[in-house]
Amino acid sequence: MAQFQDTIDFIKSTFNTQEFIPLHAPYFGGNEKKYLNECIDSTFVSSVGAFVDQFEKELASYTGAKYAVACVNGTNALHIAMLIAGVKPQEEVITQALTFIATTNAISYIGAKPIFIDVDKETLGLSAKALENFLNKNAEKKADGYTYNKSTGKRIAACVPMHTFGFPVEIDKIIAICDEWNIPVVEDAAESLGSSFKGKHTGNFGQTAVFSFNGNKTITSGGGGAIITNDEHLAKRAKHLTTQAKIPHKWEFRHDEIGYNYRMPNINAALACAQLEQLDTILEGKRKLANKYTEFFKDKNIKYITEPENSTSNYWLNAVLLENREQRDLFLKETNENGVMTRPIWDLMSTLPMFKDCQNDGLKNSQWLEERVVNIPSSYIK
Ligand SMILES: Cc1ncc(COP(=O)(O)O)c(C=O)c1O
């Protein structure tokens, strides 16, 4: 019998099936087909249309941000957020090594270089303490008011904390540190729609934040992303850059800078609007599942990761901590061989060939977590 048979049985009974259980399936329980049909009937399936405007308005309202700009996906939303933060080629951007590749790829699209700082074991996200230590030791503020890396001489142009699996980082402390050093913060909130910190939705703390609506996220538009901000100027910049930098005019084509075709198509926005209506229901189902996992794992030698202090998680992807790498590998093997999809957390960005020369602070907690964290099935349950 498998060592983790009880976990396999529990997950199968929770999802009430003996069939393969994916990590995260989308839930379509509302107006998805209706809005998609309406969108097709309107013929406006592409880069302009009423659903895009509606989605931006409703996303802003849900998150409490003043503005939202819908994008083709979360990765290019991050690219634009970095551009409007003023990051330039050859500059440096602080982020965590324990993240999904898109965070670091977006930094690279600018031609900037990531600096990898450790995460906290409680939040799985950027550690405020490690950030402070790194800056105190390695950075200096120059007469121009900006912060530079003493060892490379490059400007540290932004900081991108990521709310891992929906668990909010200690964003208030991170913002306070970055304010002191005059470093803009872009929250990578791709995974944290529905999560809040001290009662405020994630994404409202930094200068800008991005969400992803990829098929594996809490709600999906097929592919999609968005930038939110409370700064009118940045919202206008984001909209301009994502729409080929076209100066609005009824018939003329005039562009005043290099822009991008990053606007979310209306057909994706139709799906997004229907999904956003379902978000609270989906969050309730995910919390129900989290409570079941909490109860099941409480007397096991597998630790179920729960929301950190001061925060509410959307429990996008549930995660457990195994005792060590051997136990993790055995858990992955047994669950996947028995029809329960599980997967290890990402390889640290600092170990990938394209980022292995980037500066890091030792990444003690990141390495510890990399060896032990596994995601377990997290789809919505009724
Ligand atoms: C942390 C993080 N950042 C960025 C992204 C990029 O989003 P997308 O897949 O929509 O490009 C994702 C998700 O895929 C993510 O998990």
What share of the chain in percent tops pLDDT 90?
A: 99
Ligand 1 within 6 A of CB of 73? yes
Residue range 31-56: average pLDDT?
96
Q: Answer whether residue 267 shows pLDDT above 90.
A: yes
pLDDT for 199? 97
**Residue nearest (by alpha carbon) to ligand 1 atom 4:** 102
Of 309, 318, 316, which is closest to residue 171 (Cα–Cα)? 309
The CB density around residue 171, as the number of other CB atoms within 10 Å, is 28
| 104-113 pLDDT per residue, tens | 999 999 999 9
Ligand 1 within 6 A of CB of 103? yes
pLDDT for 50? 97
Q: Answer whether residue 1 shows pLDDT above 90.
A: no
Ligand 1 within 6 A of CB of 191? yes
Residue range 259-283: average pLDDT?
98
Confidence class for position 183, pLDDT limits 50, 70, 90: very high
Residue range 342-349: average pLDDT?
98
Q: Are 263 and 72 in contact (CB under 8 A)?
A: yes
How many Å lie between the centroid of ligand 1 and the Cα of residue 1? 37
Residue range 12-30: average pLDDT?
97
Residue range 23-36: average pLDDT?
98
Locate the ligand 1 atom nearest the alpha carbon of residue 103 and give its number. 3
For helices 266-297 and 5-14, what crossing angle results, to 10°? 130
Cα 89 from Cα 289, distance rounded (Å): 44
How many Å lie between the centroid of ligand 1 and the Cα of residue 376? 18
Q: What does pTM read for this prediction?
A: 0.98
Q: Parallel, antiparallel, or unpaired for β 373-376 and 343-344? A: antiparallel
Residue range 67-77: average pLDDT?
98
Residue range 262-291: average pLDDT?
98
Q: Answer whether residue 48 shows pLDDT above 90.
A: no
Q: With helix as H, strand as E and coil as C, how does the chain read?
A: CCCCHHHHHHHHHHCCCCCCECCCCCCCCCCHHHHHHHHHHHCCCCCCCHHHHHHHHHHHHHHCCCEEEEECCHHHHHHHHHHHCCCCCCCEEEEECCCCHHHHHHHHHHCCEEEEECECCCCCCECHHHHHHHHHHHEEECCCCCEEECCCCCEEEEEECECHHHCCCCHHHHHHHHHHCCCCEEEECCCCCCCEECCEECCCCCCEEEEECCCCCCCCCCCCEEEEECCHHHHHHHHHHHECCECCCCCCCCECCCCCECECCHHHHHHHHHHHHHHHHHHHHHHHHHHHHHHHHCCCCCEECCCCCCEECCCCCEEEECCCHHHHHHHHHHHHHCCECCEECCCCHHHCCCCCCCCECCCHHHHHHHCCEEEECCCCCC
Look up residue 280 and give its amino acid. D
Mutate to test the pocket of ligand 1, among 191, 262, 275 (most ligand atoms within 8 A of CB): 191
Cα 11 from Cα 25, distance rounded (Å): 15
pLDDT for 365? 98
Locate the ligand 1 atom nearest the alpha carbon of residue 191 and give its number. 16
pLDDT for 117? 98
Ligand 1 within 6 A of CB of 162? yes
Per the prediction, the chain carries an average pLDDT of: 97
Which residue is it, tokens 């969050």?
Answer: 283
Residue range 157-166: average pLDDT?
98
Residue range 218-244: average pLDDT?
98
Q: Are 133 and 117 in contact (CB under 8 A)?
A: no
pLDDT for 294? 98
Ligand 1 within 6 A of CB of 72? no
Locate the ligand 1 atom nearest the alpha carbon of residue 213 and give its number. 10
Mutate to test the pocket of ligand 1, among 214, 218, 375 (most ligand atoms within 8 A of CB): 214
pLDDT for 47? 84
Locate the ligand 1 atom nearest the alpha carbon of residue 223 and give its number. 10
Q: Answer whether residue 353 shows pLDDT above 90.
A: yes
Mutate to test the pocket of ligand 1, among 75, 79, 216, 264 (most ligand atoms within 8 A of CB): 75
How many Å lie between the centroid of ligand 1 and the Cα of residue 292? 27
The burial of 76, by beta-carbon neighbours within 10 Å (0-12 exposed, 13-18 middle, 19 or more buried), is given as buried
Locate the ligand 1 atom nearest the alpha carbon of residue 162 and give its number. 1
Q: Which two tokens stand for residue 310?
A: 């001061």
How many Å lie between the centroid of ligand 1 and the Cα of residue 210? 9
| 77-91 pLDDT per residue, tens | 999 999 999 999 999
- Alpha carbon 23 to chain centroid, angstroms: 17
Q: Are 131 and 96 in contact (CB under 8 A)?
A: no
Residue range 91-110: average pLDDT?
98
The CB density around residue 324, as the number of other CB atoms within 10 Å, is 10
Q: Can you name the residues that pair with 197 across neighbouring β-strands? A: 200, 311
Residue range 303-311: average pLDDT?
96
Residue range 212-231: average pLDDT?
98
